[in-house]
Structures are given as structure tokens and as C-alpha cells.
Structure 1
């Protein structure tokens, strides 16, 4: 009998055969790391049984997924598959509070690839359901990133270009607004670089899609020129990516999707 005041741990039922094989395959990655892609592919194709599982049983697998998501040079296919199986586990298991890879989700929200961002938002949408994990998504780091992703073109939450207009093929009437990066930030005394005092900074860049260099290079030039504090980097980069994506129909539709998903999480 368990001592008084100590909660007796519930015995976990054995995993069904199909899931047991997937679990064993993840454990084998430690000895054969080059099989991670194949294992993730099998895992994502696995049909989960009707019975709900327990995330405690998948802690070793979560460690593998955490390691893959933590790699800076991980292939896009591996990252997306790891996020998809993470979502599968969270959707089909209780005790979601066991999940603890939030720092990787925060970093991956900065990915230049919209598919990765969408996969992260889908994981967050599952974590937003129970109160035990919802409060973690409500932390300042997540809220600031989700707020930035919920912005529309022209860099404000209400925007000058409607979402319906962004989904049309012809956006010539809104090209000037859509390709402009607008941002206002207030720099405190301790945030500025040497020679930059506190005060209001206004960033206004027209035709961002024609700027020389890739998005990262342009972003760094803006940061250096305006001495943008680190706390505003994600919002600035997001608005720059939006402006540079505006001329492309598919890119606009993808970022409208990101906007709507981020908005529902706030």
C-alpha cells in the first residue's frame, strides 16, 4: 500500500503492437541516427487507435523529437515530420504537461519557411487546449511572436490591405502599401547602441521587395541603421517578410493562413 499522502501511480496499459513498433524504432535512432527520417515518416503515417494514450509512455520519443527540433541545421523535412508527430502525440495522449520543448517552438516560429511556421502553430493549437499548457503559451515570448505573426500588411494589426484583397490575383492597387515596412518603436536609455539615445524610432521602407540582398541581409541593415533593440527583432523581421512576400500570390495566401492561425491562439 502506498504511504499516506502519496498518490499511487496508475499502471499504464501496454502499447498496441503498431505503436510499440514505432516506439521501438525511435529508441533505435540512438544506435542508427541516419534512420531518423525513415522512422519519422513511418510514425507520421501510423494510424492512431481509438484509445487515448499517455504521454508519459512516450517520454523517450519526446526526447528524440526534442533533439531533432533543437538542431540548427536540421533538414526541413525532418523538422516538419518531427512537428507533425509531436502534434499526433499531443492530440492522442493525456498528460500533455509532460511536453517541454517550448524553446524550440519559439525559435522555429522565426523560420523563413511558412510550412514550418504553420506546423509550429498547429502544435501550439493543441497545447492551447488544456489549462496546464495554455498558461505556457501565454508567456510573453510566445505572445509577442504570435502578435507579430497576426499582423497584416503595412505592419499594423488592423492593416490597410484587407485579407480578402490579399487573396486576389491582382493586387496592383495595394502594391505600394503591401510592400512597405512600417514600424514604430520606443527605445529606452538602456536599449540603444552607442550614440543612439532613447526616444521614438520610425522605420518606413518602401518597395521592400526590390531591396538588394536576401531578407536576412536587409533585416540586418535595418537593425544596424536604426539601432533596433533585440526585443523588436522578431516583429521587424516578420513585417519585412510580409512586405517582400506581397507581390507573390501563393506567398500572400500562405501568410494569410499564418495570420489567421496566430490570431486564434492569442
Structure 2
């Protein structure tokens, strides 16, 4: 299907089958296929088996940005979740990265009237420079081929194509490209760059298409960063001022632009991941992360309040996911973690753990909150303790385990000495854990994060006073259920639960007998 959608139309090398007006059903099927594949790859352990990357590269030359965005979404999953793109052979990686570079390149920046936030707004075209819809392309003609414009030209002569108000031309970008390749001898390695410029200039005056172009650019930057493909072009693509532009996009109040804002957050996250420290301080400053009333902390608190307050409209799932992912990457570095401590993020994150429901998509946010708390507490335990963090964790663990009891009520009953009359009647079997039923992956991930944190906290000197009473409440009961049902919870949770008991006994050996009771 990918091959069919990306096949050039007869006698037109730049018109793909999926771009033909009469092939709308094919395009609809293609978009569904790309979105399904992205989900499949996200939850797969066999990404290396994927062998259709050439088709994806071809489809990046579609005139329809819906197709381009669906391809970029799939490539983003590949780049973030694995090293698939970096391990491609050069003959497949080269053309793909070249097309991504063309999509990611700067349009001129804020100082030239092309700030990302300005491009996202539905402004009159008079507000944008005339170059927005102008095609200006310079190239050297291919050696040995006559350029039709100038018969005496050689490969060392610079030629240019200059067309103003390209958006007024009724032909599609692929038809315009087809005409230009017949008029000029454009080198093969420059043709895709020219087509990218045509597609951008042709659609720039249309607000919807301009938004798609912004989103495609942000996706392409993120993919290049995660694929370690920015060595030579880092300064031109991640130019000074880009971070400010990304934050400007986040500050737009239009609720229709949440997809773009999510893409902006993902791009910021990728830059944190790539740059470690050089751009980290700039990101912290631009987002106001270190201040309680800074832009990012206020945004996070509003997002969390909307999650836990039924009377408020929650933020879109994609945006909230991108926001929590950004927090996690920020907290992974000392400077980011310290900024999150300074702005009082702990209280908001503990609210997520305490109040958010137990639907599958809600559980993933609780897991993310637990992981960010885990990172922040490496730097500062005081805020966690002052907001009763340990009690909140233990209560949430009890809540999740109680939900698991509905599917799997079994708990190991220790064999104790009983009088002979108490023996089981002949033929009655001992109750065992239920076969075949397993804890859902989202809940298992949450339990794993919480147990990992408890294991760390029990050994932390900051908790030495309060840790003696940690086993007085519901925690032993929760741990007993996990240990009793290794098949249901899986080996890693069974191991973690036993390790939590082990480290507690190691810290408080005098309480072993009461724990055994």
C-alpha cells in the first residue's frame, strides 16, 4: 500500500498517486495505515524488522501536508523509542535525513518576520514579508547539460529561479515542480530542496497549510535531534532565538493550536535531551521554570488542576503527555531538577498521585508524576516530606493493589500448626493465584515506579526518623499481595516487592519480629 501511494503518476515524476484528486480513498487508507503503524512501533520490541523506510522517504515528497505529517509522526516514534534511524545503512539513511533537513531549516527567524508564533497566528498576509510566498532558488546547472535559459552556460554559472506570489498559482506544488524541471536543468541533489521551498511558499498564505508547515518543521527538528543527525547543521537549525520562538508558541492562548503547542514541547524536550547543559539554562530561563509564578510552573499547575477537577475541561491528552515528558527530561539533569525544586513543583505532582483516577490513560500520568518526583527527591527531600509524600505514595499503592485484588484475590496463607481436626477434607485443594490473568501494563509500570521509589526512600537518611512506622499501615498488606501473586504481577514486581521488605529489615532489624507477625 505504501509503495502504491508513493508511486509517481505516469509521465509526471513529482506527482504521487496519493496526491491525485481521484485517489482520495487511497489517501484515507494511507493515513490510517501510517497512524496504526506509529502505534504498533511505539509498543513493539521488534522495530528493527521494519523494512519500508524507502517508502516513507518517498512520501515526504507528497504535496499534501497531511501525508507528510503522518510520515513524520511515525519517524518521530522510531527516533524517540529506538536507534532505528541511526542504524540504517547510509544508502537509506542519507536521502531520509536530507529530506528532514530541508523540512527543518529556518525560515528566517523572528527578526525577519518569520517567528514561529507569528506564523501560527491567522494574520493578514500583509503582516508577513513578501518573501513568504516568493520562490527564489539558486543553483549551478548540471555539468554537460544545456540550460534552456542560457545556451552558453556552464556548470560554474549560477542560475536562479524567481517567482513571486507562488500561492496565486492554481497548479499543485508537484505540477509546478514538474514544469520547472522541464524548463531548467536542476541538479538531482537540489531538486527535493526546491520542491520543499515550492510547497512552503505555495501554501503559506493559507492559515491551515501554514500551521501544518510549522508542525512539520517542529517534528523534523525533533527527529533529527533524536537521530543524532545535526552535527553539521546544528547552528543553522537550532539557531539562537529558536528556544524563545518555541516558548512563544506555548504562550499563544488559542485553544485550537494545542497540537502545535504539543509539537513545540516535544521539540524543546528533544533539545534538552541533545544538548545536556549548553541550551538547558536558556530553556529554564525562557520557560521561567525556576520561579513559582513562571510560565511553565503555572502551565503545569493549571494542567494538573484540570486533570483532577471534574468541573474543568482537561487539556488534550497529547499536550499533557508532551508536558509531562518535558518535565521528566528536565528533571533528569541537576540544573533542571533544581529549577523544579525552586518553583515548588512537588506539591502539584503529589496532587496527581493522590487525586488522579485509575483509568488507563490517567494511570500513565500518575506514573510520569512518580518518576519526576523520584528524580527531584534526589536533590531535595524536604518538600516531599512537608507535603506528606510518603503517605500519599503508600495510599496510592494500596489503592492500585486493591483494584488488582478484584481480578486476583489470592494471598498466600502461611502454614501454621493446627490440630488434626482442622485439616482440609479429602479432595479439597488449597486456593491458588488465578491462572492466565495479568496486571495491565500501565498499572504494572506505575507499581514498578512506586516500589522503586519506596526502595530508595527507605534507605535515605532523610527518612530515618519516619521510616520505623512505614510498615504500620497498609504497606505490608500491599506487598503481601504482590509477593503472593508473582504470575499476575510479573517477575520484576515480585522481585521489587521482596526488595522493599529486604531493605526495610536491613534498615530496621529490630522490627523484624513484628513484621513477621
Give TM class, smaller chain. Answer: 0.5 to 0.7
Shift in CA distance, 187/142, structure 1 to aligned 2, threshold 3 Å = same
Q: Is the 8 A contact 2:138 2:161 kept in 1?
A: yes
Instruction: Give TM-score scaled by structure 2 length.
Output: 0.35
Question: What is the CA-CA distance between 1:152 and the residue it aligns to?
Answer: 4.8
Based on CA coordinates, which of the two structures has the bigger radius of gyration? 2
1:197 aligns with 2:154: yes
Q: CA deviation digits over 1:132-184, x for unaligned, max 9?
A: 44332972101110111113547x9x975222221122231325121011222
1:174, 1:108 → 2: CA distance? 29
Partner of 2:61: 110
* Residue of structure 2 aligned with 1:208, choices 166, 171, 174: 166
Q: Is the 8 A contact 2:65 2:213 kept in 1?
A: yes
Paired residues for 1:223-242 under 5 Å = 223-242=181-200
Paired residues for 1:131-150 under 5 Å = 131-136=83-88, 139-150=93-104
* Residue of structure 2 aligned with 1:163, choices 113, 116, 132: 116
Shift in CA distance, 137/151, structure 1 to aligned 2, threshold 3 Å = farther
* Greater relative contact order (Cα < 8 A, sep 6+): 1
Q: Is the 8 A contact 1:151 1:159 kept in 2?
A: no
2:181, 2:112 → 1: CA distance? 23
Q: Is the 8 A contact 2:72 2:220 kept in 1?
A: yes
Paired residues for 1:37-56 under 5 Å = none
1:97, 1:192 → 2: CA distance? 45
Q: Is the 8 A contact 1:149 1:258 kept in 2?
A: yes
2:146, 2:105 → 1: CA distance? 25
1:172, 1:103 → 2: CA distance? 40
Q: Match of 1:135, SS?
A: coil
* Residue of structure 1 aligned with 2:137, choices 167, 175, 183: 183
Partner of 2:2: 69
Paired residues for 1:16-95 under 5 Å = 68-72=1-5, 73=17, 75-95=26-46
Instruction: Give TM-score scaled by structure 1 length.
Output: 0.66
Shift in CA distance, 191/264, structure 1 to aligned 2, threshold 3 Å = farther
**Which structure features the higher share of helix residues?**
2
Q: Match of 1:265, SS?
A: helix
Question: What is the CA-CA distance between 1:229 and the residue it aligns to?
Answer: 2.0
1:250, 1:213 → 2: CA distance? 18
After the TM superposition, which parts of structure 1 deviate over 4 Å for at least 4 consecutive aligned residues?
A: 190-196
2:56, 2:113 → 1: CA distance? 30
Structure 1: 5+ residue stretches without partners: 1-67
1:219 aligns with 2:177: yes
Q: CA deviation digits over 1:41-77, x for unaligned, max 9?
A: xxxxxxxxxxxxxxxxxxxxxxxxxxx1111346111
2:89, 2:40 → 1: CA distance? 18
Structural RMSD (CA): 2.6
Q: Is the 8 A contact 1:208 1:243 kept in 2?
A: yes
Q: Is the 8 A contact 1:183 1:204 kept in 2?
A: yes
